[in-house]
Chain A
Amino acid sequence: MLTAENLPRPPYKTYHEWYASQDAAHLIRKTQDAENIFRKTGITFAVYGHADSSEKLIPFDIIPRIISAREWRKLAQGIEQRVLALNAFLDDIYHKQEIIKAGRIPRALIERNVTFLPEMIGFKPPGGVYTHIVGTDIVRTGEDQFYVLEDNARTPSGVSYMLENRETMMQMFPELFALNKVQRVEDYPRLLRQSLASLAPPGCKGRPRVAVLTPGIFNSAYYEHSFLADQMGVELVEGGDLRVIDGRVKMRTTRGYEAIDVLYRRVDDDYLDPMTFRADSALGIPGIMDVYRAGNITIANAPGTGICDDKAIYSYMPEIVEFYTGRKALLENVPTWRCSEPDSLKYVLEHIEELVIKEVHGSGGYGMLVGPTASKKERTDFAEKLAARPDNYIAQPTLALSTVPIFVNKGIAPRHVDLRPYVLVSDKVKIIPGGLTRVALKQGSLVVNSSQGGGTKDTWVLED
């Protein structure tokens, strides 16, 4: 919030004045209020592997993260460029594979990738859109300096927190929204529905029927699934509700089976269709891939988009962006060592205490090593895993992340954050001004994942 001279950075100016006029005890009470709102509403997530604590709250910080309109515009341009490149990349790898032929990406990295789906080869999804919803994880290192940490093109989660955080802030501090002109995020569910409906299969007559597919109430993101279905006004379905009948995917209603045109699925590729992918999946719909390939349903995001989340592919993003857009990437990639390459592996093993090492298919902060804060034993253990399966890992330097203020009992303290803006892709790209800011609540920590003790805060993009 403050500059080196201890003055508030411009976007925080109004907030800082307001904050100075507040009583600390009052703010502590507000923090408690916020927690009660979340608990009462049931905005919880499940932590896998904890039988007893099956539902947890994500800690919420009451100080908003504030971004100026100017900085946001720059960021948004970079994100749009990146998302368009990702869609072009997906279309290419499932069709002509020009990027491979041009020698810009090794064939093996694509075709031997477990997230690459041969079933998608030669198939064009409705409207040519693969990634209807994208969450791009971004960190800021200084004024106008943004790095993309990872792309989430498979099933980005967390958007319900963006919306509930805003809702909670508006309930608790209405006066702040009178003092600051904050761009709206509340339109997201409406825009999402429009965007999904606009990509209904060409044969769809009338108003497209949209549904959200959830694995069920025990999934960690179930709250979000029900929230989005509710906010969009569409059915929340489970695999058991759906069946393929006469070449259409239909849901079992109290009056019989009714067809669905667009399925926003929050079930991973592997589980989507037991006849095509994992046969033991009880979460999917047998035969849905046939309906999809026949052009009778839109699946969002398209199967096979998960390859964009692969951290080895990530390391090629500067080339990918340039290859498809003809311009240099506007957003920086974090320099990445691919441990599959012997020279890189050697470097990584020698500098393990400086690096963050991640699994290429990992997510949620699981299976990673943060070298600078890990113990000696953790590093040695991890080095063994790394040496055994180098192609399963990448490594990155820790960045000098900028911090934002959070509210603690003693007042304000700096913490590291990242930012996940949400992007909707149809015939146009829409970026919601804001996103989910995740905070590493532990002092000095760089890990923001909610499964690893991270929290969230409201994200404001100011109007000009």
Chain B
Amino acid sequence: MLGRTANGLYWMFRYIERAENIARLVDAGLRVSLTRAGSSDEDWHGVLESAGVREAYSEVHAELTAADAIDYLLRDTSNPSSVMSCIEFGRNNARMVRTALTRETWEATNECWIDLKARLSRKVKQTDLPELIDVIKHRCGLIRGAFHGSMLRNDLYNFSRIGTFIERADNTSRILDVKYYVLLPAISQVGSKLDNYQWESILRSVSAHRSYGWVYDGEYQSANIADFLILKVQMPRSLAYCYEKITSNLDYLAQTYDERLKAHETAAAIRSTLKRGSISDIMDQGLHEFLEDFVSRNNQLSAEISEGYRFYQ
């Protein structure tokens, strides 16, 4: 398998994952602005921050308005993390590795691109937003489904999966990090009305507001939310879950190629931190510091994988 093919698969799935996560973020942002009395355009600050495009946004727009923020996140192709850009990059990578994809996976990706390109070709009306966000999630879900249902479980599969989970871990930790001040164990704030909105928006942006209720009896508690998104291995968007998947896929590669790389050590170390850690230790250490460190180790792992498997010349 070509190094470039591994690279293409890895990034194809990173971008598809990112597109879906951006759509979730917008969804959560919308929900806050719809349900919360006295909400303001300023609420989009946090959304842009979570998407990692706060600064880039202000280079294009002088003011922060909900409409501009949504447009920037969904369709602005000058924003490399907009849904449209991600789908475009994802599909370009898919074209590049087309011979490595099953026909179903390719067609789901191509149709996703055709559909979203048409839907995002002009400004989206506020009333059409909920449907559009559903379509984005559906389209990404179809790609995932076609991929799971038809791809051979070999190294192609492993690289695709690793891309998905590196991206997801990055996204989840960013969402948490942006809201970390809400999650700080400051007793005075706990239970206040404002916090509930904020917390719900965190959970909603990882599509976990319902499952949280099942696991933690519905009470929003800072420690529980952090626990859920960082350490709960049953939660498919938690850091712990992502690292279970990353290490198992890396282990398959090690077996297939009969070679363990630096990336294997790094991934195992991160996984073990997540496995052994307790949420109280993390909160004591400082959630922000923990997440900052996590994001940088996650990036380091990504770089080691690219290098170890010869993604680039």
Contact = CB atoms under 8 A, between A and B. Distances in A.
A256 B257 CA distance: 11
Main secondary structure of the interface of A (DSSP, over half): mixed
Contact of A254 (B106, B111, B309): B309
Contacts of A235: 2, 99
A206 B130 CA distance: 58
Given A39-B114, A226-B98, A252 B2 contact: yes
Given A254-B2, A254-B3, A40 B110 contact: yes
B107 A40 contact: yes
B111 A40 contact: yes
Interface centre among A42, A237, A251 (most CB of B within 10 A): A42
Interface string B95-136: 110110001001100110010000000000000000000000
Given A236-B99, A252-B3, 17 more contacts: A40-B107, A41-B103, A42-B95, A42-B98, A226-B95, A236-B98, A240-B4, A243-B313, A251-B2, A253-B2, A253-B310, A254-B1, A254-B2, A254-B155, A254-B257, A255-B259, A256-B310
A309 interface: no
A114 B309 CA distance: 41
B310 A217 contact: no
A390 B95 CA distance: 43
A384 interface: no
B252 to A, nearest CB: 13
A237 B2 CA distance: 8
Contacts of A253: 1-3, 310
B92 interface: yes
B4 A217 contact: no
Contact of A241 (B4, B257, B259, B309): B4
Interface centre among B98, B159, B259 (most CB of A within 10 A): B98
A238 B6 CA distance: 14
Interface in B157-215: 159
A230 interface: yes
B99 A229 contact: yes
A201 B234 CA distance: 55
Interface bin, chain A: 20 to 34
B72 to A, nearest CB: 22
A324 interface: no
A407 interface: no
B2 A222 contact: no
Interface in B1-22: 1-4, 6
B238 to A, nearest CB: 29
Contacts of A226: 95, 98-99
A238 B8 CA distance: 13
A462 to B, nearest CB: 30
Nearest to B253: A254
B95 A217 contact: yes
B192 to A, nearest CB: 52
Interface in A238-265: 238, 240-241, 243, 251-256
Contacts of B309: 254
Nearest to B1: A254
Main secondary structure of the interface of B (DSSP, over half): helix
B89 to A, nearest CB: 12
Given A226-B95, A226-B99, A254-B310, A41 B4 contact: no
B266 to A, nearest CB: 18
Interface string B139-160: 0000000000000000100010
27 contacts: A39-B114, A40-B111, A40-B114, A41-B107, A41-B110, A42-B107, A216-B96, A217-B92, A217-B95, A226-B98, A226-B99, A230-B99, A237-B2, A240-B4, A243-B313, A251-B2, A252-B2, A252-B4, A252-B313, A253-B1, A254-B1, A254-B6, A254-B155, A254-B159, A254-B310, A255-B259, A256-B310
Nearest to B95: A217
A464 to B, nearest CB: 35
Interface in B250-288: 257, 259
Contacts of B3: 241, 252-254
Interface string A11-35: 0000000000000000000000000
A41 B105 CA distance: 11
A255 B257 contact: yes
A15 B6 CA distance: 48
Contacts of B103: 41
Contacts of A217: 92, 95-96
A131 B136 CA distance: 48
Contacts of A254: 1-3, 6, 155, 159, 257, 309-310
Interface string A139-158: 00000000000000000000
Contacts of B4: 238, 240-241, 252
A252 B6 CA distance: 11
A39 B92 CA distance: 15
Interface in B195-243: none
Contacts of A222: 95
Contacts of A40: 107, 110-111, 114
A189 B53 CA distance: 47
A239 to B, nearest CB: 10
Contact of B98 (A39, A230, A255): A230
Nearest to A233: B99
B302 to A, nearest CB: 15
A252 B309 CA distance: 10
A237 B4 CA distance: 9
Nearest to A237: B2
Contacts of B99: 226, 229-230, 235-236
Nearest to A214: B96
Nearest to A256: B310
